[in-house]
Amino acid sequence: MTVSDKAEGGRPELIKAVPVRHPGRWVAAAAVAVLAAMLISNLLTSEAYNWSEQWKYFLSPPVLNGVRNTIWLTIAAMIGGIGLGVMLALMRLSSNPLLRGASWLYLWVFRGTPLYTQLLIWGNIGALFPKIGLGIPFGPEFVSFETNALYSAAAAAALGLILNEAAYMAEIVRAGVLAVDPGQQEAAHALGMTSMQTMRRVVLPQAMRVIVPPTGNEAISMLKNTSLVAAIPYLELTFTAQTIYANTYQIIPMLIMACLWYLILSSIMMTGQYYLERHYARGTVGSGGRMGLRARLAARGGGGGQ
């Protein structure tokens, strides 16, 4: 049959076939519907939630103070963790074996021990280092301070979270740097850029595309991990909820209230993450990274995007 033969008959009739049935979907939908109905009925009828008690405390000064502490701890821990993490990653990638070894040791210790235990140690650091001073090891000291005078629960909480987060951020940054095509560094060097210039202008901006999504996840994890600084102890959101229900015995309402606050905060962070990812996708999506969410999802789903 030649092409002209086909054309003669005009456009063929549209196919009207019986679609494949998906009985599994109906079963799953029924199961989900039943579970959802059970949940809703529980939420509406159970006295244990005590919604009015939750609302009473939701915007109360102690809870707002806890929320504020949770927010600043998350921000401080992420900024400090990213800064220290980038440094550790560059040390790990350096050609200096001493720096590489030091970075490796740091990661080994801080990733190999639980955050909760680390926070307990930072809370009791005064017992380990009663005095902090500058001087020659085994020799004379120039200045020294009483640790407990310098140190507050807030500082201990932030320090503990930063030091732990840095270890994880270091690995994320290192993966991002290694993901950049080595040809990029060669091209930058061939143009006369030094290693520092290459890192700052060429490698890190491209590594960001790989670094940002897991960092957003880290930030959201951090929001929740701040609840562990109750170990110090420091009055963040969860610990505040605990102190309230220690008096009122309204355990579940206070914990649910804390969860609602965490959900609000993490939703805000997820929105921020979306815009940040879009910014660092510049040059990789068809229209220079200025596509909307829907267009991006369509491009991804259709396999048309790069």
**Is 288 an interacting residue with respect to another protein (CB under 8 A)?**
yes
Cβ at position 284, least distance to another protein in Å: 6
Structure tokens at 194: 């030094």
Q: Note the Cα 281 to chain centre separation in Å.
A: 18
Q: Which is nearer to another protein, 174 or 209 (CB)?
A: 209
- Residue 199 is classified by DSSP as I
Under rule CB under 8 A, residue 97 binds another protein = no
* 306 counts as binding another protein under rule CB under 8 A: yes
Q: Does 283 engage in binding with another protein (CB under 8 A)?
A: yes
Residue 91 tokens, joined: 């040390």
For position 211 contacting another protein by CB under 8 A, the verdict is no
Single out the residue of 206, 215, 225, 227 in contact with another protein (rule: CB under 8 A). Answer: 206
Nearer to another protein, 94 or 152 (CB): 94
- CA dist., res. 191 & res. 126, Å (int): 52
CA distance 232 to 124: 8
Q: Which of 41, 42, 152, 195 binds another protein (CB under 8 A)?
A: 195
CA distance 198 to 205: 10
Question: What are the residues whose beta carbons fall under 8 Å from the beta carbon of 267, sequence distance 6 or more?
Answer: none
Residue 6 or 200 having the CB closest to another protein? 200
Residue 238 lies near another protein (rule: CB under 8 A) = no
Least spacing, CB of residue 200 vs another protein, in Å: 9
Residue closer to another protein, measured from CB, 197 or 266: 197
* Closer residue to another protein in complex, CB, 68/290: 290
- H/E stretch holding 231: none
As a dihedral over the C-alpha atoms of residue 88, residue 94, residue 99, residue 103, rounded to 10 degrees, the angle is 30
Which residue in 50, 60, 147, 184 binds another protein (CB under 8 A)? 184
Question: Which run of H or E residues covers position 261?
Answer: helix 251-280
Options 36, 94, 186, 259; binder of another protein; rule CB under 8 A: 186
Compute CA distances 93 → 59, 79, 192, 208, whole Å.
47, 21, 21, 16
Binding residues for another protein, rule: CB under 8 A, are 181, 183-184, 186-195, 197, 201-202, 205-206, 209, 280, 282-284, 286, 288, 306
